[in-house]
Structure 1
């Protein structure tokens, strides 16, 4: 007998079955998709989940509008001659096979270099070569295999999502079923013989069955799907006990009415699902609120230099950028917004966006995309849109370039709850076996009540709500953390390493004295414009001290991280940096913070800096000294050693003359000895050290130096508040542990009543979401108290 179900999409084939390779297909579209997969050796797509595809709709001519350049411009987030990137919203993403096929698009079209799925947002980020394919071809390919993107023509956005009301529909169905089943159960509850006539019992019981079917197979389907996928992956997730409890209640109740043994537990079953979904709805709404605040209010505390109509340079926050603003981008600065290049020679590194490290040269009039990093001196551009904070957040967390520090890190939730489900199933089995031999009528109720009352939802909610709320609070206090895992890692650190220049020292109120041969006007002009293009703290300080000069475009500019700058204009070539870098070996041992200058390979002189330390540095180090090993790891010479000894606690290690690679190796060695390292730097010279450390914090002070290597960004004005932030992270762990303890006490009490047969399943179903809600309230109130203390 032929299988009349479509092999690709799972729908019925009807009377028009199409046969191909001994498989049935409902239409030519599904057959074509199978042929595509078969030709490209991708048929293991069907091994991940049976019949996962959607029936492709008629798409011929539907996407012709994607050939228009103005629309392509709106839909792509990055464009160059060899790379284009677009993010498309795919409503049909729903399972592991969807993720697998969408992340293997390059096998269907070799011109696609990369595709990444965000399952939660149902989006796929596609990188492709525009010389070989185009956006229309990408969309047609996705549509042909059953993953048609949703594209809004009203505003040219490809990621605009419809509001997902699925949970509300399921909650409505469960509520409707629960209310009516309870109503039909009342006569039997009260045993009203005059009303509940014998001949109507079967009718009312089967009506309850009919009302229960959509509750179980529609409203509760997510629990079954999650449990099945967990078991398939050999994991016992938190939905296994729930699915098991619902199944037992439904099967037992159905058997009872079929054999006329009783009315079953349909009222308890519908109530269970309804109250489960109420708890889930509350959880979703609360967490969506927290996520909303984080996504749209946690802007980066980086500033950008705006040039006004009079040519004056002023620092503004990136979220204040408006269309038409003229912006100054220095060397190693991130371009925060799409713009048109006006002045300067641009060599843009788009590796943060594309993963490709090759720089791209741009000329006046060319478009520059947000996320690129200027690597060849100073440029000026005109903004053509305002900053999209969600895009910057995505850039910060992009796995293309970001080392995953979470590998090998076990979260507190996983640590505590990994054996929870096994323990509950064991207790349920033992209790049920006991009651089967003692009082078989109670066995089913005991089994179901144990599975429900001990649901680990409260444990699963503790960490997300605690960390989510703390992320929001930290953001308001100008401490911007990449994700919740960073808070947990921050709470475990035992060693704190500080860079010196630009970290514990301030670029403001810093003085410098020049000692050496006077610079000519042309040399002073090149010096000022060279410093204008650099983001190093000493360069920025010296730039602000020197007299004003005309703005020129340098012919040459090259910044050697940790060493100095080479720059030239016409016949003047300057080297600015350390004594060894400019070629003056006689001054390498001078015990001061200095910047040396040579012109056309002739040594000219040096600027000696007198550091201005941030307010509260001494107090901060004294707060930290009791709990942490403290280290100053500086690339400068030892000129400030005596001052630092007076300023900082005696046990602070002071290590100087460290190159960027030396800092990285220092951290790596101490980690191998068991240290949990927090590195605090300026984000420029310290990128490697920030990436190597367990937690890396970049200090931001009116500088648009964006370092994806860091895990957090701290506004320089909040530097002295570092200890309270670390202390709050540790307190967050305590809050989670207390919530675990409360959940444990609740489970012990609930299990006692469930095991002894004194707890009905429906009562357990009511108590379970209440326990989840109580945990959410507890963690939210506690973190808000933490926030008030921080303020």
Structure 2
């Protein structure tokens, strides 16, 4: 009897290799085992039995990667120290594949991280440039995960099509149609001639047709259920796999013993509708991905310098190759570019996770996704903006925190109890029938497991949440993923920043009191403000447009305090009174930007806040269901106006530094609150990340932050309560669809428990349940979408 390879599971011939009492089919598999075990990755073999893939042994296969031009076409990012590449790995097939690919850094410490997208079979790998793309690919090929590299593939916007699902759907559909056709004579109880002559033959054909459905089309469900059980989790695929197995075994037993016709029609129909639902789910998500890639996924703007040298704000997706762009402090570079002017200190942590800034000089290349730290720079775009690339940054694992781990999605929460209840019903019914009529005990137990298969339950959330993501996007509310909708439904507290969030950055009245600024001082102040993205800085910069821009020797921005710049030996500071060095006075009761030049106080610009349209009515509506809080970094000069504008009982806290906001959110979460933080994405990044749902308000400025879970167009802030309402309705729709599924199960269980479940009843009930749930969720979310408009 032959032995199988410990690594890949293939049969070993006479040339097998024995190493450490383990059998390997070739030197390649033995080498992979030595690499994994030598780097502390023995756990790979505990995830699956023979989980590995035999490595390729083709010398020179990847020599073409020595070509520098080809490497640059394949790499998403390469600054000389770190590089990022997204590789398609067709061999990826199970949890152990994900595990070993996400642990590449243990095989070579020059690999920083690897983020796997299992549905698309891709891995986004960040590694040191010194390692080289060829060496990385060879490392992956050595352990059996050779990436498929095609420049044609990399030029496409869309990922690889999941043809496996289409093939499985085709197999299940072919079997379902033919098995139903062959079942009709028994449905209508044809004459004795039919039963005697053709019944055994047709039943055998139905059995044969069910084999590829169970062992091929249903394989993903069995795999997922097994992994869930090994991890101690009763996921939604456990009862589905159990139902499929019982359907097949009971049907096989009935036709082999000639005690019945079996449930092959129900079995093939169940798999067909399950896979059809999964196919539509995939198409829905692919469509959403298409919208994200190509349709201005979030309303980020950028400052473009036109041919006459004038600055103009434009939508980011209108940037074309050759455009000159102004990138301020803390702004994201939206496209690959060349540095034209200024001192660039680029933070590429959004891309690589490495937070050390990289210094660049005029003429150097800059990559999309980098964030400028310091004075404003001018760049020239060498590529068009790729929205799909920026959305990848939003989901980068570097910015994932514990939100997903502390929140359990509704479907898996329900399926856990669903599975337990069904097993208890089956056990109790079996015991009762054993005492009443022992011959019916096993048929009743199997009938219960057959009819209680939660296929409709599995379709509810994907269809509902997928539709809601699309509806929100069309209403200028852009969510990171579907789970955000479920988290929104569990909130009870909404925290707002003030400046730039509930106040508008446009059209505010500004007055100046103090010593007049000369041409030099005014130009220096305007030049300093030009580099900042703070709403007050942007407004003041526009006000001072009469002064000329001066080249700066240095620039620094201090979060929550102000800006500081130096030129020709002159130093200017603009910000809070303590930052500039002036004592508090009556003027401090207003929203003020103080100005000092060469450590001499010059004066102050007073801002009379203009609140966004509809804010008062928004807070009034929110107050009915949520605790409301204002966390402002400004002084309390606006407290009186806010008390008149906002409902009684709204919490107000002023002089809040970024760390104070984060701690406030964390404290209330520890008290059991579900918190939404609404901010402008600048000084609120920590609080946005800490909150259960962080919403960044975007007003045509490039302040994109991966810390947020959602981006809301500033013109739609007065609709925030409607988005929260829609999230609650989405979860309610899922719950109602669960009820529909449970009603179907109750009806089916009645027939099963009483021993009356016939193949005809099962064949009718099972597909009707799935179609009803899909139809209901589609119509219900469509109704919610119309109410949002």
TM-score range, shorter chain: over 0.9
Aligned-partner SS, 2:109: coil
**Aligned equivalents of 2:386, 2:103: Cα separation in 1:** 29
Q: Does 1:63 align with 2:62?
A: yes
In the TM superposition, residue 294 of structure 1 has moved relative to its aligned partner by 5.0
Deviation at 1:366, TM superposition (A): 1.1
- The yes-or-no answer on 1:174 pairing with 2:172 is yes
Query: CA 1:751–1:202 in 2, change beyond 3 Å: closer, same or farther?
Result: closer
**Structure 1, 271-280 or 73-82: larger mean CA deviation:** 271-280
Residues 579-615 of structure 1: CA distance to partner in whole angstroms, max 9, x if unpaired?
1111112548621111111111111111112222211
SS at match of 1:590: helix
Contact kept? 2:266, 2:766, Cα under 8 Å:
no
Indicate how the Cα distance of structure 1 residues 447 and 303 shifts in structure 2: closer, same or farther if over 3 A, else same: same
**Secondary structure, in 3 states, of the residue corresponding to 1:506?**
coil
> In structure 2, how many angstroms separate the alpha carbons of the residues matched to 1:762 and 1:274?
17
Query: CA–CA distance in 2 between the matches of 1:673 and 1:742?
Result: 36
Task: Answer whether contact 2:85 2:126 (CA < 8 A) is retained.
Answer: yes
Cα distance, 1:346 vs structure 2:
0.6
Alignment correspondent of 1:40? 39
1:379 Cα offset (Å): 0.6
Instruction: Determine if the alignment matches structure 1 residue 320 to structure 2 residue 330.
Output: no
Aligned residue for 1:678, secondary structure, equals: strand
Q: What is the CA–CA distance in structure 2 between the aligned matches of 1:463 and 1:202, rounded to whole Å?
A: 42
2:630 matched residue in structure 1: 632
Q: Assess, with a 3 A threshold, how the Cα gap between structure 1 residues 734 and 257 changes in structure 2: closer, same or farther.
A: closer
Q: Any conservation in 1 of the 2:353–2:398 contact (CA below 8 Å)? A: yes
Which residue matches 2:506?
508
**Which stretch has the larger CA shift, 765-774 or 384-393?**
765-774
Change in Cα spacing, 1:234 to 1:298, as seen in structure 2 (3 Å) is farther
1:150 paired to 2:148: yes
Establish whether residue 719 from structure 1 lines up as the match of residue 717 from structure 2. yes
The Cα offsets for residues 85-123 of structure 1, whole Å up to 9 and x where unpaired, read as 111111111112111211221222222222222222211
Quote the Cα distance in structure 2 between the aligned partners of 1:51 and 1:276: 29
- Is the contact between residue 270 and residue 767 of structure 2 (CA under 8 Å) also seen in structure 1? no
The residue aligned with 1:88 is 87
Would the aligned equivalents of 1:331 and 1:535 in 2 still touch at CA under 8 Å? yes
Deviation at residue 281 of structure 1 after TM alignment: 3.6
**What's the CA shift for 1:552?**
3.5
State the match for 2:406 in structure 1.
408
Distance of aligned partners of 1:255 and 1:483 in 2 relative to their CA distance in 1, 3 Å threshold: closer
Taking a change above 3 Å as real, the CA distance of residues 785 and 268 of structure 1, as seen in their structure-2 partners, is closer
After superposition, residues 87-166 of structure 1 pair within 5 angstroms as: 87-131=86-130, 133-154=131-152, 156=154, 161-166=159-164
Q: Tell me, yes or no, if the aligned pair for 2:236 and 2:412 is still in contact at 8 Å.
A: no
Match of 1:759 in 2: 757
Shift in Å, 1:465: 2.4
Unaligned runs of 5+ in 2: none
d(CA) in 1 for partners of 2:266, 2:740: 26
Structure 1 pair 602/222, CA: closer, same or farther in 2 (3 Å)?
Answer: same
Higher mean alpha-carbon deviation, 431-440 vs 708-717, is at 431-440
Q: Residue 664 of structure 2 aligns with which residue?
A: 666
Does the residue aligned with 1:154 lie in a helix, a strand or coil?
A: helix
1:167-206 aligned at under 5 Å gives the runs: 167-181=165-179, 190=189, 194=193, 206=204
Q: Secondary structure at the match of 1:746?
A: helix
In 2, Cα distance between the equivalents of 1:610 and 1:280?
A: 54
Q: How many residues align?
A: 788
- For the structure 1 residues 37 and 695, does the alpha-carbon distance in structure 2 shift closer, same or farther, using more than 3 Å as the test? closer
1-side partners of 2:585 and 2:232: how far apart? 66
Per mean C-alpha deviation after superposition, the further-off stretch among 396-405 and 583-592 is 583-592
Structural mapping, 1:479-628, within 5 Å: 479-587=477-585, 590-628=588-626
User: Structure 1 residues 387, 665: CA separation in 2 closer, same or farther (over 3 Å shift)?
Assistant: same
Which piece of structure 1 moves more, 173-182 or 405-414? 173-182
Alpha-carbon distance in structure 2 between the residues aligned to 1:620 and 1:245: 49
Other structure's SS at 1:352 match: helix
2:527 is paired with a residue of what secondary structure? helix
Report the equivalent of 2:778.
780
What is the Cα deviation at residue 174 of structure 1? 3.1
- Check conservation: 2:105, 2:112, Cα contact below 8 A: yes
1:689-748, Cα deviation, whole Å (9 max, x unpaired): 222322222111121112222221111111211222222222222222222222222221
Report the Cα offset of residue 23 of structure 1.
Answer: 3.7
Do 1:93 and 1:119's aligned partners in 2 also have CA atoms closer than 8 Å? yes
Cα distance, 1:202 vs structure 2? 6.2
The secondary structure found in structure 2 opposite 1:418 is helix
Residue pair 2:262, 2:759 contacting (<8 A) in 1 also: no
Alignment CA distance shift 1:466-1:291 (3 Å): farther
Bigger Cα displacement from structure 2, 246-255 vs 616-625: 246-255
Cα distance in 1 between the residues matched to 2:74 and 2:99: 24
Q: Deviations over 1:305-339 (max 9, x none)?
A: 11111111111111222121111111111112211
CA distance in 2, matches of 1:461, 1:186: 29
Q: Distance in 2 between matches of 1:538 and 1:68?
A: 49
Aligned CA distance change for structure 1 residues 763 and 577 (closer, same or farther; 3 Å): same
What is the distance in 2 between the residues matched to 1:202 and 1:15? 45
Counterparts of 2:636 and 2:199, CA distance in 1: 93
Q: Distance in 2 between matches of 1:273 and 1:121?
A: 22
SS in 2 for 1:502: coil
Q: Residues of 2 paired with 1:258 and 1:740: CA distance? A: 37
Cα distance, 1:576 vs structure 2: 0.8
How many Å separate the matches in 2 of 1:240 and 1:155?
36
Q: Aligned-pair distance for 1:263?
A: 5.8
SS at match of 1:504: coil
Residue in 2 aligned with 1:217?
215
- Asked if 2 retains the 8 angstrom alpha-carbon contact of 1:230 and 1:236, the reply is yes
1: distance between equivalents of 2:319 and 2:274?
A: 46
* Match of residue 376, structure 1, among 374, 396, 399: 374
Q: C-alpha deviations, 1:124-150, integer Å up to 9, x for none?
A: 12221122x110011111112111112
Q: Report matched runs for 1:333-372 at 5 Å.
A: 333-372=331-370
User: Which residue of 697, 706, 709 maps to 1:708?
Assistant: 706
Structure 2 distance, partners of 1:784, 1:259, is: 50
Equivalents in 2 of 1:769, 1:32: separation in Å?
A: 50
Moved more, 373-382 or 4-13: 4-13
Change (3 A) 1:158 1:88: farther
Match of 1:6 in 2: 5
Q: CA deviation at 1:171?
A: 2.9
**C-alpha contact 1:579 1:588 (8 A) present in aligned 2:** no
**Taking structure 2 as the reference length, what is the TM-score of the superposition?**
0.93
Tell me how far 1:489 sits from its aligned partner: 2.3
- Quick check: 1:453–1:750 contact (8 Å CA) kept in 2? yes
Secondary structure of 1:410 counterpart: coil
| Aligned counterpart, 1:428 | 426
Deviation larger for 451-460 or 265-274: 265-274
Give distance in 2, aligned partners of 1:193 and 1:665: 80
Three-state SS of the structure 2 residue aligned to 1:501 is: coil
Deviation (angstroms), 1:343: 1.0
Q: Which residue of 1 aligns with 2:651?
A: 653
Residue 27 of structure 1 aligns with which residue?
26
SS at match of 1:612: coil
Q: SS at the partner of 2:682? A: coil
Superposition deviation, residue 681 in structure 1: 1.6
Mean Cα displacement is larger for which, 409-418 or 553-562?
409-418
Matches within 5 A, 1:196-275: 206-255=204-253, 265-275=263-273
Distance 1:282 1:658 in 2: 47
Shift of 1:290: 4.6
Output aligned runs, 1:742-753, within 5 Å: 742-753=740-751
Q: What is the TM-score with the length of structure 1 in the denominator?
A: 0.93
The superposition leaves residues 59-102 of structure 1 with CA deviations (integer Å, 9 ceiling, x where unpaired) of: 32121121122221122222123211111111111112111211
